[in-house]
Structure formats: structure tokens, C-alpha cells
């Protein structure tokens, strides 16, 4: 059986998203606490089988002979995220955490409920909610490291003096000085993910969304990059939403872990981890949190 | 092999060569081939009035000279292995051996020289044409029409491919037409083109355009359709709008594939050029070859083939080098 | 009953009266098809997909314009033949057997040249890919000769063989030869070294290596080469026939042009188009048969995914014959 995901992943749907833009809270007065508010968000997909071909769509088709199967990805999720927090979304595969992240980024819209950023409803992708993807190939291979990072400010219309300054600062922050003129094909996976992070934070986003960014890397690079990320988080006080399926990672990085359960995707529990950074992976407190999270996941 | 042995081999070859030349001169004869079996002497006409090189080159001198050159090349390679790449040496050796064998076959009268003229005659004939500016005229005519048609193909192919790949409506309506036209080989359009445009540049340009257009179009469509979704999403998160997606993501990421299409299109256009020039034009390398065939002037036929081949290699190399320079990120 | 702009009807009047198609009838038929397609699309709930509808629309409009402009005399009918006349003429030729004879002549020439190229290129390619010395010495001149476009050899071939079957088959064979050869060599050279070691540990010798490793893994690339060779051969075939033959479709088209018989010219071109389409489909089926049947989809994906080993395999390293 072939499966195709149309409209959701189709280029034309992305184009529709392009037209939308989001104005981060110019009209409403936000009380300054919550950067993101997720209110009763639900998301369902509809599965149509048509003689051997399965199609998953976002909206119900108007003309259709058969009734579709409803795939509930998220059900009634309510959450709010404050400034400067490091929130991790943790859960098994298929529990909807990536879908929620994509809703926050603006690539998908919820079937029910609303997601808000600084008081304004999220309607489409915007550099205020910058995203780092799982694949390190999201970095544009035809541009140098410098051009990749300066692309965001260039699209925003920042003038070149300020742009150069910002880019230099960011490259310093991600510790890739000396690699400005290199092309991505000469860089390792870890360095590429650092470029991706730099590309996102150079826009001074309200919130940095990361979708399992270290999943495709080997263990040592992963630990390295986790420390880098904590350092960046602390130095620029960035709000981060981090999706992962690795319990260790979530416990090591986040100060709030939202544990999801699968089918349907719901919040199981929110665990606050108030250990100071940098954390010891072998300390008893850390292991206690880790075991607690593991229990939640397993049952 | 040791150095001594190599020097010995070269010395012996040279000695043999000098001996043969001496014997040849002693038996007295500048005339190269008798006309046994050859119906006309159009190729054997002494051309001393027309160019300063002299008559047809002496085949013995040619063969011996080639052998010595190959031997010296091998000697140099063994002495300075790093300076001279081995691929070059092997290539030149193969070509040299081939030329010597060719010359020898005709020299021993195994083949009639009207059917297969030896390299010396071909080279002499080419020199004559060059001196009379005959060759240059035809080369320029061919290159001119090739470039006009090729650039037309690029200018029409890439935008159309972009539109077809991005807009489903365009694809729905134009695809059926294109799929049927694509199947007809460009030379099949020749009589039609001659009927419509007469003889000269227009039908040739039309045929070459047809040949180059489709690879470029298809590769543009493929390259743009292969745009990766994470790249599109990345540029959206960075604040890009629709034009930015087209300009900054689709075109750069499709560029290598498009360039491959350009290279393939050039190759096919080259083949169509020669085909069109055999029947539909009044000047050009293909016309020169066909005209020579009608006069049974085989050296010009072969010489024209060699010139076409070398021009093809030249342009292909230029295209490859350009590709390497522009697509530095691959 | 015809208007003046359609005087070509006179020419086809020699067909038995039943075989002529009246232009208005043709226009009516095409319009009916278009109407039917539009109705079924909008009222029968998208029964026809967008792409199919687009095909109908484009072709109907195109044919209507073509027939219409000639019927109304807008175009000089020397340059174009209306579709109704083309269809009528095709049936006439089929009835008289003229078209079949030409098709058979063309196809036999093509198959002769192509199979000649195949039979020589594949073994030579395998040999060149396996034996280092042969490859090193013969690859440069072959790369050089590859760049001679096949039609350029045509005059030389005519001098050698005279007009008729000879030059056409020779040139087609030469044109198909190089893509097949190059792809075979590349396919053989890309076979995985580690697979050879596996066979050797199982006690196999040279023939086993050839049979079980090299040929299966080279097969997809060889088939790609065959496909490219097919395309080029088709191109060269038509050009050879236009210049140097005395029968066949190309000859028919060129002859029609010199006698200014435009309908025959178009009949020839549409036949060439139809033949090309048939061969395209046929070729895809063969390719699928060879690749899928032997589990080759998996094989070709595997061989592409694992192609990290850049060093080609040479027979010298396999020491015993089995």
C-alpha cells in the first residue's frame, strides 16, 4: 500500500502558509509573563483508503464516498511557556510532540483550540519562532556558513553593517570562528547543527523551537552539543522548546519536561527539574528525575 | 625497465628510422601512392600551388616520426614521472599506435586509398583547406548556428520548466503536448522544417533547438521537483516569502541538475547540428562533409569528421570545467 | 461540397470515396469529445482527473484550431495538412500496405543496428571493466571516439558501403555502441569489492565472481546505458534514413517533401511519433521485467546505497578459475 501525505506536506500547502504572516502582539497587550500559550489544542488527521492507496489529509474531503478514519494526533493540550524557560517535550514515537512543535512553528494549524505567541494567534511561520530541524541537511548546502547565518537578517531587511555585527557575534557564540567561508559539505554533522542553531538565533527569536536536533548524531557529539546549547541558553536568555524521545537528554537539558502519552497525544504530566546547570549525569538527584521520567514513559 | 635499456630502445628505433629514410630517398621518389585502383585523383592532386607546406606528406616519415615521438614520450615519462601524467602518455601512445597502424595499412595497399585515405593525406588536405580559409568559414557557420539555437533552448527551457514544476495547471495543460513532441526525434522534423523555412540557417536552428530543449526542460523540472521540504521550511522560518522560496531555495538547489541537463542538451544539440547540416544548409561542417562525399573527396570527409570530433571535445570540456567552477558547493 | 481553402481534398480524392473524412465531420467529432469531457468533469463529480481533462482539452483545442484554420483558408495549405486528410491518408496507406512496408523496413534496420551494437558492446565493456591493462590503454582512444556524432560518420559510411542498408545499419550500430559500452564499463567497475571477497571465502573462482557478483550488480547501469543507446539510435536512424536510404519512414518523409506531398509527410511524422511512443513503453516494460523480476529493485537500491568503495575490481586478484 502506498501512503502519501498530501496537503499537509505538499508544496502548495506550504505556499498557503507563506501568504500568512503573524504579527507578534502589536495590538493586544500581553501581561509579560507567557511567551507562548497553547489553549485546548487538538489536531486530527483523516485517513482515506482508496483501493490500495492511503491518503492522509488535514481536512475532511467534501466529495467522498467513504467515511474516513480519524487519526487523533493531539487531544486537548493546554500549556503555557514563560520567558527564559527551557521546556522539553518528551514522549514515545507517534505521541504528537513533533506535531505540536510544528503547530507552534506555524507549519500546521490546529483542528481545535488556539496557539498564541505573545498574545497573538499563530498563523504561519515567522522568524520570531525560529526552528531547528532534525536533519542537519536543513542548512543550505549552496551557501557558506556566513551566508547561511546572515540569510535571516537579510530577509528581514537589516542593513549590512548591523548584519555583519550580528553574524560575527553569533558565530562566536556557536564557536565556529574560522569556518565562515566554508561550505556545508566540508563540515561534520555536529558543526552543521551548530550552524542551524546559529541561523535560528541570529534573528533574536522570541522562542527557539528544536525538533530532535541531536537525534542523528553520535553520542559524543550529542553530549558536546548539549553542553553548547546550555551555554548558549544561559548567555542570551533564550526561551527554548526542545522535542526529544531521549529521557537522558530531556532530564539533562530542561527545567520543565512535558511528558506526552501516545494515541491520543495528551499531556501526561509536567515535571519541573530545578537542578542547577551544568548537571551531573551520575548524581543521585539527576537519576531520581530520570527514573521518574522513565516510569512515566513506560506506563 | 632501466634507463640504459630505454635509451637503447630509442636509439635503435631512431637508427632504423634513419636507415629507412635513407633507403627511401635513395630509391628516388617523392611521389607517394600510385593510382592503382583509385578512380580519380582529386585527393592526390598536388597542391603545391595552393599552400606552402608542399605536397602530401611522406608516409614513411610520418610513421617513423610518430614512432620516435612515442618512444621519446615513454622515455620522458620514466625519467620525470611526476611532471607528465600517465593518462596523457597512455592516451598519446594509443593514438600514436593507431595512426601508425592506419598509415601502414594503406601503405601496404591492404585498403584502397579512395576508401580509407591515410593520415598524411588527411592532414595535408586539412592544411590546404585552412590555407584557403575554406575550413574557417564552415567552422564559424556551424558554431554560429549551434550557439544561437543552444541559447534559445536555455532561454525557453529553464523558465518553462520552472513554471511546469511549480504550477499544476500549467503542467496539466502543457504536459500532453510536450510528451508527444518529445518522442519525435528532431531529425524527423527536417523535411517539415525545410518545407517551411527553406534551406539555410532557420531549419537548422529549429532542429538544434528541438534537440537541446527537451533535456534542459526535463532536468529543470526534475531539479525543481526535488526541492527538499526542509529547505523550504527553513527559509519560511527565517522570514522568507514566496519569491524568496523561488529565488533562494528552488533555483540554487536545482542548479546542479539543471547544469547536467544543459550538458546533455549540448551533446544532443551537437548531434542534431551535424544531421541538420547534412541536408538543410548551404554552409557548415556537415555540408562540407556531404559535399566532399559527392565528389568522392574522402580525405576531406575524414578531415571534417576529425574537426567535428575535436570541436565537440573542446566544448564538452569547457562545459565540464564551467560546471566545476560554478557548482563549487557540490 | 468543399470550400476552396481545402483543395487538398482533390489530391486524396483518388482514395476510394468511402475513405475520405469530411473536415466538418472531424470538427464536429472533436467538439463532441471535448463537450463530453467537460460535462463529465463538472457534473459527474470529478470522474475524470485533472490531468486527463487537461489532455483532452489541449488536444481537442489544438486539433480544432488546426483543422479550422485550414478549412477557412487562413493558412496556405501547402505547408500544412489538416488532420482529417492525414487520418484518411493513413488509412489509405495501411490499406495499400505502403505504410507497413516502410515501418518494417525502418524497424528491421534499427533492430539490426541496435543488436549489433549490443552484442559487441556488452562483452567488450565487461572485458574492459575487468582487465586493468585493457582499460588503461583503450579507454583514452574510446573516450576520444565517443565524441564523434554518429551522423557525421554517415558520408564516410556511404562512401564505404553505398546507398542502402549498409550505411544506415553501420551508423546506427556506431551510435548505440558508445553509450552502452561506457555504461557497461562503469557498471562493472562499480561492483563491490566486498562481495568478491564473500564469494572467494565460499570457494568460488573467476566464473563464479562474474556470474554472482559482477553481472547482477552491474545490470541496472547496463540497462540505463541500453536505454540511452536506444534513444540515440532512434535519432540516428531517422537521420540516416533521410540522407542515405532508399526505403523506410525517413525516406518516405523526405520523398514526400521533395514531391511537395504534405499529407504524406505528416503521415510519416505521426507514424514516427507513434512508433517512438510504443518503443518507449515497451522499453520501460522490459526494464521493469529485468530489474524487478530478479529482486533488482532491492539490488539497485542496495548497490547505490553501499557504493562507498571506489576501487574497481580486477580479475588479477581472483586467482583460480572454477
| pLDDT digits 0-9 by tens, B199-255 | 989 999 999 999 999 999 999 999 999 998 889 999 999 988 888 899 899 999 999
Contact A82, A32 (CB under 8 A): no
B275 occurs within a structural domain: yes
How far is Cα C84 from Cα C90, in angstroms, rounded to an integer? 10
Whether B76 and B147 map to the same domain: the answer is no
Nearest to B164 by CA among C54, A91, A124, C243: C54
Q: What is the pLDDT of residues C201-224, one digit of tens each?
A: 777 777 777 777 788 788 888 888
Chain C residues whose beta carbon lies within 8 Å of the beta carbon of residue B87? 140
Going by pLDDT thresholds of 50, 70 and 90, the confidence category of residue B11 is confident
In this predicted structure, what is the pLDDT of residue B38? 31
Choice between B292 and C14, residue whose per-residue pLDDT is larger: B292
Indicate if the alpha-carbon torsion angle A86, A91, A96, A98 is positive or negative: positive
Q: What is the pLDDT of residues A67-88, one digit of tens each?
A: 777 888 888 888 889 888 999 9
Chains near C (3 or more Cβ pairs under 8 Å) = B
Number of domains in chain A: 1
How far is Cα C158 from Cα A47, in angstroms, rounded to an integer? 65
Q: Considering CB atoms only, which of A12, A131, A184 is closest to B237? A: A131
Mean pLDDT of A212-232: 91
Nearest to B315 by CA among B143, B129, B135: B143
Q: What is the pLDDT of residues A132-185, one digit of tens each?
A: 998 888 999 999 999 999 999 999 888 889 999 999 999 999 999 999 999 999
Chain A residues whose beta carbon lies within 8 Å of the beta carbon of residue B253? 140-142
State how far Cα A264 lies from the chain centre.
20
B124 occurs within a structural domain: no
Per-residue pLDDT at A56 exceeds 90? no
Choice between B194 and A44, residue whose per-residue pLDDT is larger: B194
Q: What is the pLDDT of residues C116-144, one digit of tens each?
A: 999 999 999 988 888 888 888 888 888 88
> CB B289 to CB C152 under 8 A?
yes
Interchain contact A129–B (C-beta under 8 A)? yes
Q: Which of B271, B292, B318 best tests the C interface by mutation, with the highest count of C CBs <10 A?
A: B271
First to last CA, chain B: 42
Contact A4, A53 (CB under 8 A): yes
Q: Which of B43, B95, B100, B183 best tests the C interface by mutation, with the highest count of C CBs <10 A?
A: B183
Q: H or E segment at A146?
A: helix A145-156
> CB C150 to CB B271 under 8 A?
yes
First to last CA, chain A: 32
Number of domains in chain B: 2
Per-residue pLDDT at C313 exceeds 70? no
B123 occurs within a structural domain: no
Q: Could you state, in order of their start, the residue ranges of all structural domains in chain C?
A: 4-96, 98-317
Whether B54 and B90 map to the same domain: the answer is yes
Strand ranges, E, within chain A: 2-5, 34-50, 53-57, 69-82, 86-90, 112-117, 120-121, 129-132, 207-211, 239-244, 256-261, 266-272
Whether B84 and B140 map to the same domain: the answer is no
Per-residue pLDDT at C322 exceeds 50? no
Q: Which of B118, B148, B181 is the last residue of a domain?
A: B118
Q: What is the pLDDT of residues B288-314, one digit of tens each?
A: 999 999 888 888 999 999 999 999 999
3-state DSSP helix/strand/coil % of chain C, to nearest 5: 80, 0, 20
Q: Which residue of B has its CA nearest to A198?
A: B238
> CB B185 to CB C276 under 8 A?
yes
What single string gives the DSSP state of each residue in C122-161?
Answer: HHHHHHHHH-HHHHHHHHHHHHHHHTS-HHHHHHHHHHHH
Q: Are strands A120-121 and A266-272 parallel, antiparallel or unpaired?
A: unpaired
Residues C132-163 as b/e (b if ≥16 CB within 10 A, e otherwise) read eeebebbbbbbebebbbbbbbbbbbbbbebee
How far is Cα A58 from Cα A39, in angstroms, rounded to an integer? 20
In this predicted structure, what is the pLDDT of residue C316? 40
Interchain contact A152–B (C-beta under 8 A)? yes
In this predicted structure, what is the pLDDT of residue A54? 67
**What is the domain range of residue A209?**
2-128+205-298
| CATH number reported for the structural domain that contains residue B309 in this entry | 1.10.3720.10
Per-residue pLDDT at B162 exceeds 90? yes
The C-alpha cell that represents C230 in the structure block:
536506444
What is the 8-class DSSP label of residue B246? I
Contact B299, B253 (CB under 8 A): no
Per-residue pLDDT at B181 exceeds 80? yes
> CB A125 to CB B242 under 8 A?
no
Chain B residues whose beta carbon lies within 8 Å of the beta carbon of residue A200? 237
Q: How far apart, in Å, are the Cα atoms of C231 and each of A146, A159, C118, C290?
A: 45, 53, 14, 19
> CB A127 to CB B244 under 8 A?
no
Chain B residues whose beta carbon lies within 8 Å of the beta carbon of residue A151? 235, 238, 248
Residue C29's Cβ-count burial label (10 Å; 0-12, 13-18, 19+) is middle
3-state DSSP helix/strand/coil % of chain A, to nearest 5: 35, 25, 40
Per-residue pLDDT at C298 exceeds 60? no
Cis before A264 (ω within 30): yes
Q: Which residue of C has its CA nearest to B113?
A: C160
3-state secondary structure of C314: coil
Which of A35-49, A239-253, B9-23 has the lowest average pLDDT?
B9-23
Q: What is the pLDDT of residues B49-99, one digit of tens each?
A: 333 334 567 778 888 888 888 888 888 887 777 777 777 788 888 888 888
- The C-alpha torsion from A245 through A248 and A254 to A260, rounded to 10°, is 30
A42 occurs within a structural domain: yes
> CB C155 to CB B176 under 8 A?
no
Q: Which residue of A has its CA nearest to B230?
A: A138
Whether B167 and B195 map to the same domain: the answer is yes
Q: Which of B90, B118, B146 is the last residue of a domain?
A: B118
What single string gives the DSSP state of each residue in B31-82?
Answer: -----TT-S--TTT---TTT-TT-SSPPHHHHHHHHHHHHHHHHHHHHHSTT
- Fold of the C98-317 domain: MetI-like fold (1.10.3720)
A182 occurs within a structural domain: no
B304 occurs within a structural domain: yes
Q: Which residue of B has its CA nearest to C77?
A: B196
State how far Cα B163 lies from the chain centre.
33
Q: Are strands A256-261 and A266-272 parallel, antiparallel or unpaired?
A: antiparallel
Which of A38-52, B31-45, B167-181 has the lowest average pLDDT?
B31-45
| CATH number reported for the structural domain that contains residue A233 in this entry | 3.40.50.300
Considering B49-58, B194-203, C65-74, C290-299, the range whose residues carry the highest mean pLDDT is B194-203
The ipTM (two decimal places) reads: 0.80
Contacts of A15 (CB under 8 A, 6+ apart): B242, B245
**What is the domain range of residue B158?**
134-326
Whether B147 and B296 map to the same domain: the answer is yes
How far is Cα C16 from Cα C36, in angstroms, rounded to an integer? 32
Whether B86 and B146 map to the same domain: the answer is no
The C-alpha cell that represents A248 in the structure block:
537522558
Q: Which of B187, B202, B300 best tests the C interface by mutation, with the highest count of C CBs <10 A?
A: B187
Residue A26's Cβ-count burial label (10 Å; 0-12, 13-18, 19+) is exposed
3-state secondary structure of C301: helix
Q: Which of A135, A142, A209, A216 best tests the B interface by mutation, with the highest count of B CBs <10 A?
A: A142
Which of A230-244, A263-277, C162-176 has the lowest average pLDDT?
A263-277
Q: Phi and psi dihedrals of A206, rounded to 5?
A: -65, -45
Q: Which of C61, C152, C254 best tests the B interface by mutation, with the highest count of B CBs <10 A?
A: C152
In this predicted structure, what is the pLDDT of residue A168? 94
- Closest CA–CA distance from residue B249 to any residue of chain C (Å): 26
In this predicted structure, what is the pLDDT of residue B257? 93
Q: Which of C239, C259, C270 best tests the B interface by mutation, with the highest count of B CBs <10 A?
A: C239
Contact C232, C176 (CB under 8 A): yes
Going by pLDDT thresholds of 50, 70 and 90, the confidence category of residue C321 is very low
3-state secondary structure of B287: helix
Contacts of A211 (CB under 8 A, 6+ apart): A98, A101, A102, A131, A132, A133, A134, A243
How far is Cα C32 from Cα C27, in angstroms, rounded to an integer? 9
> CB B230 to CB A133 under 8 A?
yes
In this predicted structure, what is the pLDDT of residue C285? 84
3-state secondary structure of C181: helix
Q: Considering CB atoms only, which of A9, A18, A143 is closest to B236? A: A18
- Name the packing angle between helices B251-279 and B201-225 (round to 10°): 160
> CB C239 to CB B90 under 8 A?
no
Interchain contact C140–B (C-beta under 8 A)? yes
> CB A152 to CB B244 under 8 A?
no
- Name the packing angle between helices C165-189 and C215-244 (round to 10°): 160
Interchain contact C272–B (C-beta under 8 A)? yes
How far is Cα C179 from Cα B204, in angstroms, rounded to an integer? 25
In this predicted structure, what is the pLDDT of residue C14? 44
Q: To the nearest whole percent, how much of chain C has pLDDT over 70? A: 80
Whether B145 and B106 map to the same domain: the answer is no
> CB B236 to CB A14 under 8 A?
yes
Mean pLDDT of chain A: 82
Whether B108 and B140 map to the same domain: the answer is no
Chain C residues whose beta carbon lies within 8 Å of the beta carbon of residue B302? 156
Choice between C194 and B185, residue whose per-residue pLDDT is larger: B185
Per-residue pLDDT at A286 exceeds 80? yes
Chain C residues whose beta carbon lies within 8 Å of the beta carbon of residue B91? 140-141, 144
Whether B104 and B220 map to the same domain: the answer is no
How far is Cα B153 from Cα B206, in angstroms, rounded to an integer? 10
Chain C residues whose beta carbon lies within 8 Å of the beta carbon of residue B190? 239, 242, 254
In this predicted structure, what is the pLDDT of residue B34? 41
Q: Are strands A256-261 and A86-90 parallel, antiparallel or unpaired?
A: parallel
Residues A272-299 as b/e (b if ≥16 CB within 10 A, e otherwise) read ebeeeeebeeeeeebeebbebbeebbee
Q: Which of B118, B144, B162 is the last residue of a domain?
A: B118
Q: Which of residues 70-109 of C touch B (CB under 8 A)?
A: 79
Interchain contact C28–B (C-beta under 8 A)? no
Model pTM above 0.90 = no
> CB B234 to CB A185 under 8 A?
no
Q: How far apart, in Å, are the Cα atoms of B91 and each of B65, B96, C100?
A: 17, 8, 48
Q: Considering CB atoms only, which of A9, A19, A141 is closest to B329? A: A141
Q: How many CB atoms lie within 10 A of CB A59?
A: 11
Cis before A278 (ω within 30): yes
Contacts of C189 (CB under 8 A, 6+ apart): C129, C312, C313
How far is Cα A258 from Cα C90, in angstroms, rounded to an integer? 74
Amino acid at each position: 500500500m502506498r501512503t502519501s501525505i498530501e496537503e499537509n506536506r505538499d508544496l502548495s500547502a506550504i505556499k498557503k502558509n507563506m501568504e500568512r504572516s503573524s504579527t507578534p502582539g502589536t495590538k493586544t497587550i500581553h501581561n509579560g509573563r507567557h511567551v507562548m500559550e497553547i489553549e485546548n489544542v487538538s489536531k486530527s488527521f483523516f485517513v482515506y483508503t482508496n483501493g490500495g492507496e492511503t491518503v492522509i489529509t488535514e481536512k475532511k474531503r467534501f466529495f467522498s464516498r467513504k467515511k474516513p478514519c480519524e487519526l487523533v494526533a493531539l487531544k486537548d493540550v493546554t500549556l503555557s511557556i514563560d520567558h527564559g524557560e527551557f521546556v522539553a517535550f518528551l514522549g514515545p514515537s507517534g505521541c504528537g510532540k513533533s506535531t505540536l512543535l510544528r503547530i507552534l512553528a506555524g507549519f500546521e494549524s490546529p483542528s481545535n483550540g488556539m496557539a498564541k505567541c505573545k498574545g497573538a494567534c499563530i498563523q504561519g511561520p515567522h522568524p520570531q519562532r525560529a526552528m531547528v530541524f532534525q536533519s542537519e541537511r536543513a542548512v543550505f548546502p549552496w551557501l557558506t556558513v556566513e551566508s547561511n547565518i546572515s540569510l535571516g537578517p537579510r530577509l528581514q531587511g537589516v542593513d549590512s553593517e548591523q548584519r555583519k555585527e550580528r553574524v560575527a557575534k553569533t558565530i562566536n557564540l556557536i564557536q565556529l570562528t574560522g569556518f565562515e567561508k566554508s561550505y556545508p559539505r566540508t563540515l561534520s554533522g555536529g558543526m552543521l547543527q551548530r550552524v542551524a542553531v546559529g541561523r535560528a538565533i541570529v534573528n533574536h527569536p522570541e522562542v527557539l523551537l528544536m525538533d530532535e536536533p541531536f537525534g542523528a548524531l553520535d553520542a559524543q557529539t550529542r553530549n558536546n552539543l548539549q553542553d553548547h546549547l546550555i551555554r548558549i541558553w544561559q548567555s542570551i536568555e533564550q526561551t527554548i522548546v526542545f522535542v526529544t524521545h531521549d529521557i537522558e537528554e530531556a532530564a539533562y537539558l530542561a527545567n520543565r519536561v512535558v511528558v506526552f502519552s501516545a494515541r491520543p497525544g495528551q499531556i501526561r504530566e509536567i515535571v519541573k527539574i530545578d537542578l542547577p546547570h551544568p548537571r551531573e549525569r551520575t548524581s543521585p538527584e539527576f537519576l531520581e528525575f530520570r527514573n521518574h521520567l522513565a516510569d512515566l514513559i513506560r506506563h | 625497465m632501466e634507463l640504459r635499456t630505454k635509451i637503447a630502445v630509442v636509439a635503435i628505433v631512431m637508427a632504423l628510422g634513419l636507415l629507412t629514410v635513407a633507403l627511401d630517398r635513395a630509391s628516388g621518389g617523392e611521389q607517394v601512392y600510385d593510382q592503382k585502383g583509385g578512380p580519380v585523383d582529386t585527393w592526390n592532386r598536388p597542391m603545391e600551388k595552393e599552400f606552402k607546406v608542399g605536397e602530401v606528406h611522406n608516409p614513411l616519415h610520418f610513421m617513423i616520426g610518430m614512432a620516435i615521438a612515442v618512444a621519446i614520450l615513454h622515455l620522458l615519462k620514466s625519467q620525470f614521472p611526476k611532471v607528465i601524467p600517465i593518462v596523457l602518455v597512455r592516451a598519446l601512445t594509443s593514438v600514436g599506435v593507431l595512426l601508425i597502424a592506419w598509415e601502414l595499412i594503406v601503405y601496404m595497399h591492404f585498403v584502397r586509398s579512395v576508401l580509407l585515405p591515410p593520415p598524411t593525406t588527411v592532414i595535408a588536405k586539412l592544411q590546404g583547406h585552412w590555407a584557403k580559409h575554406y575550413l574557417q568559414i564552415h567552422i564559424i557557420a556551424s558554431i554560429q548556428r549551434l550557439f544561437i539555437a543552444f541559447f534559445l533552448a536555455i532561454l525557453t527551457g529553464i523558465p518553462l520548466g520552472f513554471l511546469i514544476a511549480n504550477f499544476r495547471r500549467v503542467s496539466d495543460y502543457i504536459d500532453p503536448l510536450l510528451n508527444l513532441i518529445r518522442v519525435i526525434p528532431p531529425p524527423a522534423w527536417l523535411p517539415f522544417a525545410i518545407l517551411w523555412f527553406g534551406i539555410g540557417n532557420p531549419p537548422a536552428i529549429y532542429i538544434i533547438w528541438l534537440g537541446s530543449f527537451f533535456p534542459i526542460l526535463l532536468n529543470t523540472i526534475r531539479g525543481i521537483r526535488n526541492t527538499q521540504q526542509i529547505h523550504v521550511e527553513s527559509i519560511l522560518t527565517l522570514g522568507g516569502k514566496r519569491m524568496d522560496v523561488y529565488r533562494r531555495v528552488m533555483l540554487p538547489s536545482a542548479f546542479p541538475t539543471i547544469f547536467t541537463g544543459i550538458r546533455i542538451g549540448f551533446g544532443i544539440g551537437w548531434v542534431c547540428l551535424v544531421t541538420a547540416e547534412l541536408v538543410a544548409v548551404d554552409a557548415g561542417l556537415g555540408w562540407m562533409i556531404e559535399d566532399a562525399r559527392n565528389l568522392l573527396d574522402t580525405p576531406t570527409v575524414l578531415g571534417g569528421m576529425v574537426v567535428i570530433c575535436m570541436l565537440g571535445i573542446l566544448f564538452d570540456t569547457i562545459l565540464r570545467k564551467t560546471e566545476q567552477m560554478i557548482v563549487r558547493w557540490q | 461540397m468543399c470550400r476552396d481553402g481545402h483543395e487538398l481534398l482533390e489530391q486524396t480524392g483518388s482514395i476510394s470515396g468511402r475513405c475520405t473524412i469530411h473536415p466538418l465531420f472531424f470538427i464536429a467529432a472533436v467538439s463532441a469529445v471535448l463537450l463530453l469531457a467537460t460535462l463529465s468533469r463538472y457534473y459527474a463529480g470529478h470522474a475524470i482527473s485533472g490531468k486527463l481533462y487537461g489532455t483532452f482539452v489541449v488536444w481537442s483545442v489544438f486539433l480544432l484550431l488546426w483543422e479550422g484554420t485550414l478549412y477557412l483558408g487562413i493558412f496556405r495549405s501547402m505547408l500544412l495538412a489538416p488532420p482529417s486528410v492525414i487520418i484518411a491518408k493513413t488509412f489509405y496507406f495501411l490499406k495499400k500496405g505502403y505504410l507497413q512496408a516502410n515501418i518494417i523496413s525502418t524497424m528491421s534496420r534499427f533492430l539490426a543496428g541496435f543488436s549489433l551494437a549490443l552484442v559487441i558492446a556488452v562483452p567488450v565493456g565487461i572485458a574492459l571493466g575487468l582487465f586493468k591493462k585493457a582499460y588503461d590503454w583503450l579507454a583514452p582512444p574510446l573516450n576520444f571516439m565517443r565524441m564523434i556524432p554518429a551522423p557525421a560518420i554517415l558520408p564516410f559510411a556511404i562512401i564505404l558501403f553505398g546507398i542502402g542498408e549498409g550505411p544506415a545499419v553501420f551508423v546506427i550500430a556506431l551510435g548505440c555502441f558508445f553509450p552502452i559500452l561506457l555504461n557497461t564499463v562503469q557498471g562493472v567497475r562499480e561492483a563491490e569489492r566486498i562481495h568478491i571477497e564473500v564469494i572467494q571465502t565460499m570457494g568460488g573462482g573467476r566464473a563464479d565472481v562474474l556470474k554472482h557478483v559482477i553481472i547482477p550488480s552491474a545490470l541496472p547501469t547496463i540497462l540505463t546505458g541500453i536505454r540511452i543507446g536506444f534513444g540515440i539510435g532512434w535519432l540516428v536512424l531517422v537521420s540516416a534514413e533521410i540522407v542515405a536510404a532508399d526505403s523506410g519512414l525517413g525516406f518516405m518523409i523526405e520523398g514526400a517533401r521533395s514531391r511537395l506531398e504534405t499529407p504524406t509527410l505528416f503521415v510519416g511524422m505521426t507514424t514516427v511519433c507513434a512508433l517512438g511512443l510504443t518503443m518507449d513503453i515497451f522499453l520501460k516494460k522490459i526494464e521493469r521485467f529485468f530489474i524487478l523480476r530478479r529482486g533488482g529493485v532491492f539490488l539497485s537500491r542496495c548497490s547505490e546505497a553501499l557504493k562507498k568503495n571506489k576501487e574497481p575490481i580486477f580479475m588479477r586478484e581472483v586467482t583460480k578459475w572454477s
